Structure formats: structure tokens, C-alpha cells
Amino acid sequence: MEKELTVLERAKAWLSGSFDKETKAAVEKLIETNQTELTDSFYRDLEFGTGGLRGIMGVGTNRMNKYTVGMATQGLANYLKMMFPSLNPIKMAISHDSRNNSKYFAQIVAEVLSANGFKVFLFDDLRPTPELSFAIRQLGCQSGVMVTASHNPKEYNGYKAYWDDGAQMIAPHDENVIKEVQKITSIDDVKWTGLKENILSIGAELDKLYLDRVQALSLSPDSIRRQKALKIVYTPLHGCGRKLVPDILARFGFENIHMVKEQAVADGNFPTVRSPNPEEHDALNMAINLADEIHADLVMATDPDADRVGIAIRNHKKDMTLLNGNQTAALLFYYILLRWKELGKLQGNEFIVSTIVTTKLLSEIAASFDIEYFECLTGFKFIADVIRQNEGSKRYIVGGEESYGYLIGDFVRDKDAVSACALIAETAAWMADSGKSLFDLLLEIYQKYGFYKEGLISVTRKGKSGAEEIQQMMVEYRNTPPATINNSKVLIIKDYLLLKEKDLSTGKEKPINLPKSNVLQFVLADGSIISVRPSGTEPKIKFYFGVREKLMHVAEFDKTELRLNEKIADIIASMKLK
């Protein structure tokens, strides 16, 4: 009863405050007709997390709406004023994706920032996340906002907050912004009246500058000229990839691009997919059907804010097969490093970056080219941080993570599906130039470095008790780690919370030089690697599995893959996860 009263009081505050009539009417309707929705809408404040803001759209303190967006933006503005006290004006870039209300929220953000005296560069229409990152750097901004909820369901929206290097915020800025946002307790604390003279519309001129930089990444233009008729199917999944991906493919020289027409329409309802997530097989069904119809060899799909890409290619049986993020990364990394070597671009100070839960195949590829390999925590903002730390002394080539995000070149500091699509297509053309396919290249990589196979499962435990159970799982894994997993001895335990790596055979420990993160990693005698990572935002714990085996001959692919899949299944069973 006490909780209901608190919720009701919070809701009634929206009836008596400086809220617009439509909002008050919606709140009144919730009070009268939908107690469950009322509770969920008002039982807490929508959290501004380390990645920014994200939530279901609607009225209430726990929803994405004009007021929660405005309050969060005012907190961000206050922090920027503290950090750049002598700078006038502070400059911001703002973009948005195709989600429902994204353009409206972007306008709210622009008005609040302009009312605070900021100079705001607002894109005239939807643009991909990587272009927002590029614009921050290009225009000399101190921060930026991308209005998006990435690949979440249609009910969600949110925004990502960026720092002056074009990367999403990391410590201490992310945590300090959260503190400032929490200080905004009333909509009357927000400067709502925007100053039009402080808001500048940007668009085509930034598109050209950005696409020029992406086009300069091309490593095999001659191959593309010879293979310009390569059939490629592309789908933006109703998102903003439609704005630049077809343009960059045309700029690279590809002339046979087929868009999935039904999904080329920007639509925040995402009507043709269950989820606009290129990691999910269902999302690529329409594109694969079109590829089979026209006999295309490559399918690419980007998520709503066009920072991640999923692909499908023809396998050795000529069937379309979906690649996971690790496989796509292996193709990209290998192709780019090989071509840099062939073109004489390697000077000895280059490096690549990936994350602790991404395939170790990437480190093997780097070593074979004598390229320095950096490993960082999960999240592209940490890849961007490695780039920043080495700026001026080393040359960044490429980075990526298992969750379908890649970055070629350093003029953007977040995942970039626009450049990734261009270089994936170029890799296909380069292989076609010698009568081979992307799948042939994957087999070559497996033969050279070993057949690496990865798996991922998420274990969900609902509610408060579920969250506690997940934390207890981590405590038990940490305090009483398994001696063996799937009958293979655990040799090394990496604890990213305690920042210690322990060799169980010798008892020796050495430090891990990364920020703290609640992740455990077990390295087994047979070469298998299991990573355990709880979600920071929901009662879910993720288990990443990496296994490997030699691929003696391409004819052994199917049998080897079956054994590796069975091995992952056996590991899951031995850990009693299913």
C-alpha cells in the first residue's frame, strides 16, 4: 500500500506541475484505468547510466519523454559548463535515428542546450551514429548526443552521450554526468526555451566530408573495378543506414546493389522484423530470400542507428550462411592487415584492438603480421579509449568486438557499420578477383590459424531475487572456481574485478592492467576459454564460450565444426547452464 501511495504521489506531482495538457491528461488516464502501467511509469526515475539514457516511451518519471529527456540534458549541460568554464560557446552535435519520437527528442535536446548558451549543430534528418561521432571531431565539439535505443524493440528510445574525442563517455565523465543529472529533481530546473540563433542545421556538407574519409579507406579499388557487378543485397532494417550505406558502396564502385525495398523505409515501428537486430537470424530473412532470388553472394544488414552490421555469405554448399560477429571480424582484420602489408603501409608501429570476450583468433592474426594487439573491456568506448591513449605514438588500423561492431580508421570513435559495409564488400570483390568467395577466405584463415568457434548463452533470473541470484553465482565462481570444466583442467583464472590473473599450476599471480569490471574468465588445458559476465542493467548473466581445433583440410570443415559445436554444448552441460 505504501508503494502504491508513493507512486500515486509521484504521478499527482505531474498533474500539479508545469507539465503540458496532453501529459497531464495521459497521467490522469493512467491513474483512472491502468494501475500496473502507472506503477511501472512512476515507481522510479529513468536512470541515466554510463551509456546515457534508455527506456520505454510514455509519460512518467520512468519513461522516455520530453521531460525526462530535458532533465537529463540539463544535467549534461551543467557538467559541461563545469568542465569547460572558460569556453564560450560550448559546442554540441546532435543526431537521431529512425525510431518513433527520435527527431522530436533530438529537437528537445537541441533546445535545452541552446537555452544554456551552447552552440548546437543539429543534423537536418536521421544520420548514423558513426557520422555523429565524426561530426563531433570535425566541428570541434565538446560533446554530442545520438538519439537512439540501438536495436531495442520499437517501444524504446534513448540517447548516447559522447565526449570531445567523438567516443562515448567513460570514467570519470560518465559517472560525473550521472551525478549532475541526479541533481535535476524538477522540470523547473530545466532551461526549456531554446534560442534559435544557437542551433545550426547540418547535413550534406558533413555527409561529403565523412564519406570522403571512408572512401579513402579503400585498399583494392582495382579489384572493385573488375568486380563492380558483384551482386550485393543490403537492408537497413528500417533504420538510418539507408542514408549513407548505399552511397558509400556506390562511391567504392559497386554497381549491383539491391536494397530490400520493404525495409528501406525508415519506420520506427520496424514492421517487417521481430527485432531490428542484425545479431538475430530472423532479421536477415527477407534479405537472404532476396539474395537467393537474384543469386547474390553477399547480404549485409545494419541496425537502426547503423553502427553494427550482420552479414550472410555463400558457403561451400552454395547456401547462404549467417556469420557471427567473430567470423566477420576475422575476415575484416585479416583482409585489412594483409592488404596493408602488400601495399607497404606497415611501418612497425601499428596496432589493432578487440575486447576480452571476442575471439582470440584476432590476436593470432595480429601476431602473424607483427602487429601489436590490445585487449580491452567489453564496450566500444573502451576500444576508443585505447585509440586515444596511443594517439600520436602508434597507428590504429582496425578494431572490433563480437557483438557485430567494427571500426576501420580513427576519424570515428565508435562502431561504424558504414565503413564496415564498404570494406566487407571490398573484401568480397578482392576474393572474387581470384575466383574465390568470402567463405573460401574464412576457410583459409581457419587452416592457417586454427578453427575458432564461439558460443554465447544468456541466463535470465527475473526480479529482485533473480538479480541477487546472479550476484551469488559470481561470488561462487570467484570464491570456489571449478577445477575442471568439461573434463579439462582450468589452468588460468582471470578476474577482471580483482584485476588479477592466476596460474593455478604454479599459484603465481600477475596484474591485469584494465579498469575494474565484474567479469571472470577461465582458460582450460584444451585451449577452451569461458567468460562469465553479468549484465549491469538487467537480471541476466552472459556466458561466452571459445573453442578451437586444427582444420587439416577444407574438406574437413563440416566434421570439425560439428565437433566444436558439440564441445560447446558439452561445456554448457558440464556447467549446468541448461
Say which residues have a Cβ less than 8 Å from residue 120's Cβ, sequence separation at least 6. 91, 92, 93, 94, 110, 113, 114, 198, 199, 200
Which of 150, 223, 403, 437 is catalytic? The answer is: 150
Q: What pLDDT is attached to residue 1?
A: 39
Residue 102 a catalytic site member? no
Domain with CATH 3.40.120.10 in the chain: 44-202, 210-448
Integer Cα distance of 287 and 285 in angstroms: 5
C-alpha closest to that of 257 among 407, 97, 129, 424: 424
The answer to whether the CB of 445 falls within 8 A of the CB of 328 is no
Query: Among residues 415, 128, 261, which one has the least CA distance to residue 272?
Result: 261
Q: What is the DSSP string of 218-279?
A: -S-HHHHHHTTT--EEEE-TTSTHHHHHHHHHHHHT---EEE-GGGSS--TT-TT-S---TT
Given the candidates 3.40.120.10, 3.20.20.70, 3.30.420.40, 3.40.50.1820, the CATH classification of the domain at 44-202 is: 3.40.120.10
CA–CA dist 41, 27 (Å, integer): 9
Asked whether 310 and 281 are in contact (CB, 8 A), the reply is no
How would you class 349 by CB atoms within 10 Å of its CB: exposed for 0-12, middle for 13-18, buried for 19 or more?
exposed
Burial group, residue 537, by CB count within 10 angstroms (0-12, 13-18, 19+): exposed
Q: Evaluate whether 137 touches 411 at the Cβ level (below 8 Å).
A: yes
Identify which of 359, 407, 354, 360 has the alpha carbon closest to the alpha carbon of residue 379: 354
- At 476 the pLDDT is 95
b/e sequence 172-198, b meaning 16+ C-beta within 10 Å: ebbeebbebbeebeebeebbeebeeeb
Q: Which of 331, 287, 286 is nearest to 440 (CA)?
A: 331
Q: At 197, phi and psi to the nearest 5?
A: -70, -15
Q: Are 552 and 558 in contact (CB under 8 A)?
A: no
User: What kind of architecture, by CATH, is found in domain 210-448?
Assistant: 3-Layer(aba) Sandwich (3.40)
- All three cell numbers of 291, joined, read 539474395
Q: In what order do the strands lie in the sheet with 372-376?
A: 372-376, 350-355, 395-401, 405-408
| DSSP run (H or E) holding 459 | strand 451-460
| CATH 3.30.310 domain span(s) along the chain | 451-574
Closest CA relative to residue 156, chosen from 85, 258, 234, 52: 52
Tell me the pTM.
0.96
* Res 468: pLDDT: 83
CA–CA distance, 518 with 575 (Å, rounded to integer): 19
Spatial distance between the Cα atoms of 494 and 500, rounded to a whole number of angstroms: 6
* Residue 363, helix vs strand vs coil: helix
Q: The C-alpha cell of 379 is what?
A: 564496450
Amino acid making up residue 346: L
- Average confidence (pLDDT) per 10 residues, the chain, 578 residues: 68 92 95 91 88 93 96 97 97 98 98 98 98 98 97 93 96 93 95 97 98 98 98 98 96 98 97 95 97 98 97 97 98 98 97 97 98 96 97 97 97 98 98 98 98 94 77 93 96 97 95 96 97 80 96 96 98 92
Out of 1.10.10, 3.40.50, 3.30.310, 1.10.287, select the CATH number for domain 451-574. 3.30.310
DSSP 166: S
How far apart are the C-alpha atoms of 306 and 12, rounded to whole Å?
A: 40
Examine residue 271 and say whether the peptide bond preceding it is cis (omega within 30 degrees of 0): no
How many residues appear in the chain? 578
Task: State how far the alpha carbon of 29 is from the alpha carbons of 43, 62, 501, in Å.
Answer: 17, 17, 56
Q: Which grid cell sits at 306?
A: 547503423
